[in-house]
Amino acid sequence: MINGLNISIILFLVGLYGIITNKNVIKIVMSLSIIGNGVVLFFISLGFVEDSVAPIIIPGVDNIVDPLPQALMLTMIVINLCLTALALTIVIWLYYEFGTLDIGEMK
Amino acid sequence: MTSRIIKTVTRALFPFILLFGSYIIIFGHLSPGGGFQGGVILAMAIILAIVVYGHNRFQRFIPYLMFVEIIGIFLFILIGISGIASGKQFLVNRGTIPLLNIIIGLKVFSGLVLMYLFLSRWEFKND
Amino acid sequence: MIDHLPVFLLITPLVSAIFSALISLFLKTEKIQKIIAFIGLSLPFFYLILLFQELSNGTIEYDIGGWTKPYSITLVIDELAFTLAFITSIITFLSFVYSLKCMKNKDGKFYFFFLIMVSGLYGIFLTGDIFNLYVFFELTVVSSYILITYGDKKLSLKASFKYLVIGSLASFFFLLGIGLLYIKIGLLNIEYLSIHIHNIDTQTQIVIFSLFLGAIGIKAAIIPFHAWLVSAHSTAPSPISAILSGITVKTGVYIFIRIFALGFTLQNLNEMIMVFGAITALGGVIGALVEWDIKRVISYHTISQIGFIVVGIGAFSTIGVAGGVYHIVNHAVFKGLLFLCAGAIIYRTGSKDIREHNIGKAMPITLITYIIAALSISGITPFNGSISKSMIESSVYDYPIIWLILVFASIGTIASFSKIFYYSFRKSPKKFRETSKYQEVPFSMQLPMLVLAFLCILMGVFPNLWLDTLILPASSSIISGYSAMQIKFLDPLHILKEWIIVAMGLILLKVIIVRSKEIDKLRKLISKFNLNNCIFLMVITLISILIFLRIVN
């Protein structure tokens, strides 16, 4: 019941709820980051094979988990980092222009 | 804001974090790690120093870091094109994976430190 | 060297971006950066002309990294990718020429982000690997978040933040879809996936398709997912708006064609997509009729034309898909022209509200090119919009309700552009002193508008140039079975239908001008969507798509 796939779906839904109902702009950016981590966990737990070890080449070891999703997730973590940095820069600029961090009062 | 204990411990730890980061970059093709992970650890060392000692005296390094970052991606594409020049496709592995790891490590390091230096200019003084 | 041209097509804008960034470190003037950007944007056009000769031998494929075909990242150039890359090279080069005079920015980094966005666009159209598609998508979209903030100060920041949150959500949905596809099939090559997707069981196919539809709907701005587009495209600077509306929105439709052709074996897929397209076409036009800001009107029309394209593709016949792809090309041309005209008007008059422009005949080139663009988007006969619209409408004759909605959308399009023409270009003799200060825009801004207008006329009068060589083979590679149908243009029944639509559009315009109080109330109602509400609406729509597909299959 508690495996990686279910926890990642719960993380995704928590982050989605955070984007929909939060008024503070920084909390919206944090919810985006939570969704990103949820997707990372989803990919990594997709490649899981029962009774196998980490995918490092050691002579004599045959059953390894799937290494391809892990390589894809490295790229994705970098891209999420850039998105979060850009989002925080825009948040700082918004605070500088409008004086408030509340998304309802900025209109 | 920072006390004497934190400054002393930072000065003691600083070379070891750099050493550990370089180890992760260079052994990236054999053990877990690689360019991005090692680059982040290298950046963490410098950012620790910036947090402890104040960001004003580090602002003068910004042009050098930008230069490192731009040269990094240019070298990456050059290595890719050298695959074409030696007769095969773009980005063929001719034993150049550790070199690519080092280039990415330097690029990530300079990128993260630049991000921190630019963001720390926007500090708001709380009254 | 000819063999390696696809990779050079990707590398050239990237290398010129690097050189431009290096120069911006040392010098502060922009002259050398403009020369570097000029070289970096005009070279891909010549590469594409060289590649066209080789394309007639078959699809060009290029493996990166020394691995062989199913395991490597391949660059695939077939007719569809070639068409879109070709139109990208034309539109980005012309909007760069436009931005030489139009953009006055103090830091030296505008051209750097511009070139990175262009290299991301080429990467999207050329790649054949589905995760590589995600990476190039992110490259394009992140640089467009930055480029939007170069517009008017406060509004463009809000618009860019809204676009950031909603666009990231689209990328996450796309990634979830890729993950599920990978774990069921095992490789990431798009061609390999398209052959093997019918092996997956139906329940998983429904989930994968819903996730992809969510991602594509947000990127291509289909109606429940459209909320980011109007504010983002209207507050960006004008050359950036032309590229965003012309090419970046179409990348969503391009992925839609590639994934839709993957061969999902679900029932009732065509009807659902055509219903979404029809609602989008009508909703975009209703949103455009109530606005008074010129760039917001044109952005709402982007949504409406995307609705037309989605209807054409959803019909899933050779004529429909060919009409949809040809409308992508035509829309890039005349939408770019409309945004450049709007930018010229704003550059000279300084205001975006169309009731404050009193231009009259003071800007003749802008007037003529605006009339050509407005007639093209409405689908009047000698211009290029008419051909693709007639192809799309002839592919939905079996579904009369959708055909009727498309006709209503055409009527609204004509009414909306006549409204802009009536207010902006009307000369009021009372304010004589004010109109005499409006001269024409500088020559480097006129040249792209003239070239695009010429392309509109050329592609309308000689459509077979494009259709036979590029677009019909592209659509026939998606739908197996190439029937060489002869499309009749210039038949009098069609021209009669167009003039009836024009007449009803002008009657609608009169109604709008008379009842402007209720129009204002409608506008306030539409503008109540802030960030939280539209994401909630998107999630509800996705869940309802899932439930509908589950019930039908």
Within 8 A of B35 by CB-CB distance, chain A residues are none
CA–CA separation, C266 and C212 (whole Å): 14
Give the pLDDT of residue C25. 84
Count of CB atoms situated within 10 Å of the CB of C458: 15
Q: Categorize the per-residue pLDDT at C267 as very low, low, confident or very high, splitting at 50, 70 and 90.
A: confident
- Per-residue pLDDT, C355: 73
Instruction: Note whether C223 and C280 are same-domain residues.
Output: no
More confident residue, C478 or A44: A44
Question: Which chain A residues have a beta carbon less than 8 Å from that of C539?
Answer: 16, 20
Query: Do C357 and C477 fall within a single domain?
Result: yes
Contact C353, C296 (CB under 8 A): no
The whole domain housing A80 covers 4-46+67-105
Instruction: Quickly state the pLDDT bin for C435 (edges 50, 70, 90).
Output: low
Each residue's pLDDT tens digit, B91-103: 777 778 888 899 9
Q: Which residue has the tokens 């990166």?
A: C64
- Could you count the other beta carbons within 10 Å of the beta carbon of residue C141? 21
For testing contact with chain C, the best of A46, A73, A90, A94 (most C CBs within 10 A):
A90
Smallest Cα distance from C11 to chain B, Å: 8
C-alpha A26/C-alpha C325 separation (Å) is: 41
Do C468 and C531 lie in a common domain?
no
Distance CA C160, CA C162 (A): 5
The pLDDT of residue A48 is 86
Statement to judge: residues C427 and C551 lie in one domain: no
Q: Higher-confidence residue: C196 or A83?
A: A83
Would the pLDDT of C427 be above 70?
no
Domains contained in chain A, number: 1
Task: State in Å, rounded, how far the first CA of chain A is from the last one.
Answer: 45
pLDDT at residue C390, rounded to an integer: 84
Q: Determine whether the interchain pair B32/A54 forms a contact, defined as Cβ–Cβ distance below 8 Å.
A: yes
Which band of pLDDT confidence, cut at 50, 70 and 90, is reported for residue C205?
Answer: confident
Task: Report yes or no: C65 and B93 within 8 Å, Cβ to Cβ.
Answer: yes
Residues C36 and C67 placed together within one structural domain of the fold? yes
For residue B127, what pLDDT band results from cuts at 50, 70 and 90?
A: very low
Query: What global pTM score does this model have?
Result: 0.92
| DSSP letters spanning B95-121 | S-HHHHHHHHHHHHHHHHHHHHHHHGG
**Could you tell me if the ipTM is greater than 0.85?**
yes
Which among A12, A72, A105 is the top mutation candidate for probing chain C, defined by the most C β-carbons within 10 Å of its own β-carbon?
A: A72
Looking at residue C17, its pLDDT comes to 92
Per residue in B23-42, pLDDT tens? 999 998 888 888 899 999 99
Mutate to test the interface with A, among C156, C165, C183 (most CBs of A within 10 A): C165
pLDDT at residue number B109: 93
User: What would the pLDDT profile of C464-512 be if each residue is shown by its tens digit?
Assistant: 777 776 776 666 666 654 455 555 556 677 777 777 888 888 888 777 7
Contacts of B89 in chain C (CB under 8 A): 4, 7, 62-66
Chain A residues with CB inside 8 Å of C164's CB? Answer: 83, 86-87, 90
A41's CB contacts (< 8 A; 6+ apart) are: A4, A7, A8, A11
What's the pLDDT score for residue C424?
77
Nearest residue of chain C to residue A92 (CA atoms) = C157
- Are C241 and C374 in the same domain? no
**Alpha carbon C243 to chain centroid distance?**
8
Q: Is residue C250 part of a domain?
A: no
- Contact list, B115 vs chain A (CB under 8 Å): 85
Neighbour subunits, A (≥3 Cβ pairs < 8 A) = B, C
Neighbouring chains to C with at least 3 Cβ pairs closer than 8 Å: A, B
Min distance A39 CA to chain C CA atoms (Å):
7
Report if residue C43 sits inside a domain.
Answer: yes
Chain B contacts of A74, Cβ < 8 Å? 34, 36
Q: Is the pLDDT of residue B60 over 70?
A: yes
- Closest Cβ opposite residue B66 in set C11, C25, C65: C25
- Asked if C169 and A72 come within 8 Å (Cβ–Cβ), the reply is no
What pLDDT was estimated at residue C535?
A: 81
pLDDT of A107 > 70? The answer is no
The verdict on C115 and C183 lying in the same domain is yes
> How many angstroms separate the first and last alpha carbons of chain B?
17
- Name the closest residue on chain A to residue B123, using Cα atoms: A92
Confidence of residue C249 (pLDDT cuts 50, 70, 90): very high
Subunit contact C64:B81, Cβ cutoff 8 A = no
Task: Compare C58 and B38 and report the one with higher pLDDT.
Answer: B38
Query: Do C145 and C272 sit in the same domain of this protein?
Result: no
Which of C201, C208, C239, C190 lies closest to C91, judged by CA? C239
The predicted-structure confidence for A47-67, as pLDDT tens digits, reads as follows 888 888 888 877 877 788 888
C484 lies in the same domain as C465: yes
| Together in a domain, C203 and C286 | no
Q: State how far residue B46 is from chain C, nearest Cα, in angstroms.
A: 23
CA distance C439 to C425: 13
- Does C257 fall in a domain? no
Partner-chain contact C160 A28, CB within 8 Å: no
Max avg pLDDT among A78-82, C153-157, C268-272: A78-82
- Of the residues C33, C36, C64, the best mutation for testing chain B's interface (the one with the most B CB atoms within 10 Å of its CB) is C64
Contact: A46, C536; criterion CB under 8 Å: no
Question: Could you tell me the CA-to-CA distances from C104 to C107, C115, C319, C493, C497 in Å, in that order?
Answer: 9, 17, 45, 50, 46
- The answer to whether residue A41 sits within a structural domain is yes
Average pLDDT, chain C: 84
Residue C254 lies in a domain: no
Give the number of domains in chain C. Answer: 2
Average pLDDT over residues C98-111: 81
Average pLDDT over residues C177-194: 87
The pLDDT, as a whole number, for residue B49 is: 92
Any domain includes C253: no
C138 near B CB under 8 A = no
Higher pLDDT, A26 or C192: A26
What gap in Å lies between CA C410 and CA C413, rounded to an integer? 5
In this prediction, residue B126 carries a pLDDT of 56
C135 inside 8 A of chain B by CB: no
**Does a structural domain hold residue A83?**
yes
- The 10s digit of each residue's pLDDT in C328-386 is 999 999 899 999 988 888 888 777 777 777 676 777 888 888 888 988 888 887 788 88
Pairwise CB contact (< 8 Å): A20 & C536: yes
| C463 & C548 share domain | no
How many Å separate Cα C83 from the centre of its chain?
Answer: 14
Classify residue A60: in a domain, yes or no: no
pLDDT score of B79 more than 70: yes
Q: What pLDDT score does C204 carry?
A: 86
Domain that holds residue C360: 267-514
Q: Does residue C438 register a pLDDT over 70? A: no
Distance in angstroms (rounded) separating the CA atoms of residues C114 and C21: 11
pLDDT band, very low/low/confident/very high, at C529 (cuts 50, 70, 90): low
Q: Does C469 lie in the same domain as C323?
A: yes
Q: Which two tokens stand for residue C492?
A: 């009098």
C61 interfacial to chain B (CB closer than 8 Å): no
Assess if residue A85 is contained within a domain.
yes
Which chain C residue has its CA at the smallest distance from B68's CA? C22
C141: confidence class by pLDDT, cuts 50, 70, 90:
very high
Element holding C440 (H helix, E strand): none
In chain A, residues with a C-beta closer than 8 Å to the C-beta of B34 are 74
Å between B108 CA and nearest CA of chain A? 10
User: What's the average model confidence in pLDDT over C420-434?
Assistant: 65
CATH number for A88: 1.10.287.3510
Is residue C409 pLDDT above 50, yes or no?
yes
Interface of B with C in 66-105 (CB under 8 A): 66-67, 70, 73-74, 77, 80-81, 83-84, 88-93
